[in-house]
Amino acid sequence: MSQSSSQTPDSWIGTFCNLVGHEYFAEVSEDFIEDDFNLTGLQAQVPMYKEALEMILDVEPSDTNSSALSEEEEEEEEEDDGILGDELDEPAANQNGAARRQSGVSSTGRRHGRTSSDASVIESSAELLYGLIHARYITSRPGIQQMMEKYELSHFGFCPRVYCSGAKVLPVGLTDTPGQQTVKLFCPSCLDAYTPPNSRFQAVDGAFFGTTFPYLFFMTYPDLDVAPLKKRSTRDAAQGNDDIESTLSPTEPNATRAGMTVSRSSSLTLPQTPSIPGVAQAKDEKSSVTLSTLPPQPPAINGIATHNLAPGLGKGKIYEPKIYGFRVSERAKSGPRMKWLRSKPLDINELDEARIWHERYGGTLDGDDDIPAVSEQQDNEDAAEDEEEEEADPDGDAIMASQGQAPTNNRAKSKRLPDGDGDATMTTQGQGQKRGKARRKSTTTRNQGVEVSAQQLGQQQAGSNWI
């Protein structure tokens, strides 16, 4: 957390981040920049790389020093770095610390030095370089922490979508190549990208934030509540579809509504909330029937907490066009055709594609069948899959037991003969989801099981001859 304040205010980085329009930037720590590993490949992308790097790090330009950053020698006090002195020198030649022949170039020859246009080129190079480093930095641990601070202070603003009711957004680039797209904002509540409201951000390159950052951020902080806590459930209760509730200014205190913060999740995950069925009936009878018989919702789906999966989408969060109170039919020429974009299943289990698939076609999540070892034939398979565990720990039983699998004994103790063929790879890939296998009994034969897993690994090919 110290990174954000580590920069002195008059450093280049500090100045750059305080410029108007640069509010989204985090201050990259100098340690990060000084690590050459973090700069891999940037030399080819940035002209005047060395000079730009020196500018970013506020290093006195020195052409004697070949190692671009760390030990700058103070003996030469000239401001110029001799670029103009030997004009033919390509910037690329300077970049990788190729020693500039200090003896060959007289310092007086370089004295006429860097012109203002030269400085501006370096300045823009420095901005480009800083942006590219920044894109890498904010996917590193200290960078993400720093962005977390900015996120919590709402430096990136809020989702403009009414039904997201002021969810906080994160900057994102639509491409990782600089110079193509400006920065956009990613809303975790509706999983969509928006243009920043203020035009001053139209000058900021999206590649300086990168395509990866926002979701990596939310994967790093899985417990972060994506939806604003205030007025969650009360909104649903009070108004249902028309709960466009005072979202005029997301920052405005809404004390009265903050009362019920029992559920941060959307109405979808809380079917028992008493007020919701009424709301739903008013809107859609068919779904309200479903609503009352909703199976228990899992705490997490597809790797993220259920209440954090697009809380701004789904029933009650989709705009319903009405004329004088009557809904516009889907069949009308001007009728709603984009509801799918904001939809989300009432029963979140419908998104558990792997489970649904296996419930229908057998097998388990790791693409293996789950027969407790009763036949000798199975030993080969088990041997293959247990191989992994054994490699990690000779006592495979202990590991499995600690995972809460409650494996059957004869399965765990089956002969473990590594068979070294394709099976091993298969189980390696599926190993992450191995738990729970023993719980699910199915009557599929071994042969089927192998086929299923093969199918799964092959991206679930369309071939359905085995059904």
Partner 1 sequence: MEDFQSETDSDYTSYWRDWFISSRGNEYFCEIDEEYITDRFNLTGLNTEVHYYQHALDLITDVFDLDCDDDMRETIEKSARHLYGLVHARYIVTTRGLAKMVDKFKRSDFGRCPRVLCDSHPLLPFGPSDNPGQKSVKLFCAKCEDIYNPKSSRHAAIDGAYFGSSFHNILFQVYPALVPVKSRRRYEPKVFGFRVHAAAALARWQDSERRDMRARLKEAGVISDSAQLFIEDADSSDGERAEDDENEIGDHGDRRMQISAEQDGGVELQRTVAPTQPLK
Residues 186-225 that bind partner 1 (CB under 8 A): 186, 191-195, 197-198, 211-212, 214-216, 219
Longest CA–CA span in the chain (Å) reads 89
Q: Give burial (CB, 10 Å; 0-12/13-18/19+) of 218.
A: middle
- 327: which strand partners? 322
Q: Which is nearer to partner 1, 154 or 249 (CB)?
A: 249
Q: How far is the CB of 250 from partner 1 (least distance, A)?
A: 8
342 contributes a contact to partner 1 by CB under 8 A? yes
Residue 354 beta carbon to partner 1: minimum distance, rounded to whole angstroms: 9
Q: Which of 110, 114, 184, 232 touches partner 1 by CB under 8 A?
A: 184
Q: Binding to partner 1 by residue 356, rule CB under 8 A?
A: yes
Residue the block writes with tokens 């950053």: 69
Among residues 115, 249, 272, 447, which is the contact residue for partner 1, using CB under 8 A?
249
Position among 36, 79, 152, 353 found at the interface with partner 1 (CB under 8 A)? 353
Binding status of residue 459 toward partner 1 by CB under 8 A: yes
- Residue 270 Cβ, how far from partner 1 at the closest point, in Å? 18
Q: How far is the CB of 177 from partner 1 (least distance, A)?
A: 13
Query: Least CB distance from residue 286 to partner 1, whole Å?
Result: 12
Sole window of 77-85, 147-155, 334-342, 371-379 interacting with partner 1 (rule: CB under 8 A): 334-342
Instruction: Figure out which of the listed residues 97, 275, 357, 446 binds partner 1, where binding follows CB under 8 A.
Output: 357
**Separation of alpha carbons 59 and 54, rounded Å:** 5
Residue 216 or 258 with smaller CB distance to partner 1: 216
Which positions from 360 through 389 interact with partner 1, judged by CB under 8 A? Answer: 360-361
CB 248, min distance to partner 1, A? 4
Calpha distance 169→190 (Å, rounded): 10
What distances in angstroms separate CA 323 from CA 327, 329, 335, one per listed residue?
A: 6, 10, 11
When asked if residue 279 is in the footprint of partner 1 (CB under 8 A), the reply is no
- The answer to whether 260 contacts partner 1 (rule: CB under 8 A) is no
Query: CB under 8 Å to 360, separation ≥6 — which residues?
Result: none
Q: Tell me how far, at minimum, the Cβ of 297 lies from partner 1, in Å.
A: 14
Number of shown-chain residues binding partner 1 (CB under 8 A): 71
H or E segment at 247?
Answer: none
Query: Among 141, 134, 137, 80, which residue's Cα sits nearest to residue 107?
Result: 80
Q: How far apart are CA 16 and CA 340, in angstroms?
A: 42
Helices assigned H by DSSP within 57-155: 91-95, 107-111, 116-137, 141-152
Q: Supply the minimum distance, in Å, between the C-beta of residue 287 and partner 1.
A: 12
**Among 343, 349, 442, 448, which residue sits at the site for partner 1 (rule: CB under 8 A)?**
343
Nearest to 211 by CA among 171, 167, 248, 164: 171
Report helix, strand or coil for 447. helix
For residues 164 and 383, which CB has a smaller minimum distance to partner 1 in the complex? 164
Please, what is the minimum distance in Å from the beta carbon of residue 186 to partner 1? 7
Binders in 287-326 for partner 1, by CB under 8 A: 301-304, 309-310, 313, 319, 321-325
Given 123, 242, 388, 419, the residue binding partner 1 (CB under 8 A): 242
- Within 10 angstroms of residue 115's Cβ, the number of other Cβ atoms is 12
The reply on whether position 341 binds partner 1 by CB under 8 A is yes
Q: Contact between 156 and partner 1 (CB under 8 A)?
A: no
Rg (CA), the chain: 30
462 near partner 1, rule: CB under 8 A: yes
Rounded CA-CA distance 130/24 in Å is 13
Residue 413, token pair as written in the block: 């103790």
420 binds partner 1 (CB under 8 A): no
Cβ neighbours around 117 below 10 Å, total:
8
Binding flag, residue 332, partner 1 (CB under 8 A): yes
Neighbours of 467 (CB within 10 A): 6
Helix ranges, 362-421 (H): 378-392, 396-402, 409-412
Piece in contact with partner 1 (CB under 8 A), picked from 68-76, 79-87, 341-349, 399-407: 341-349
β 184-187/192-194 pair status: antiparallel
Residues 250 and 168: their CA atoms lie apart, in Å, by 9
CB of 28 to partner 1, least distance (A): 20
What residues between 28 and 87 interact with partner 1 by CB under 8 A?
Answer: none
Specify the residue for token string 């579809």.
241
Using CB under 8 A, pick the residue from 99, 328, 374, 417 that binds partner 1.
328
429 is a contact residue toward partner 1 (CB under 8 A): no
The DSSP output letter for 59 is P
Q: Calculate the alpha carbon distances from 22 to 42, 146, 251, 461 in Å.
A: 21, 15, 22, 47
Q: Work out whether 119 is an interface residue with partner 1 (CB under 8 A).
A: no
Among 256, 334, 443, 465, binds partner 1 (CB under 8 A): 334
Taking the least distance from each CB to partner 1, the nearer of 174 and 294 is 174
* 148 binds partner 1, rule: CB under 8 A: no
Q: What is the token pair recorded at 227?
A: 């939806």
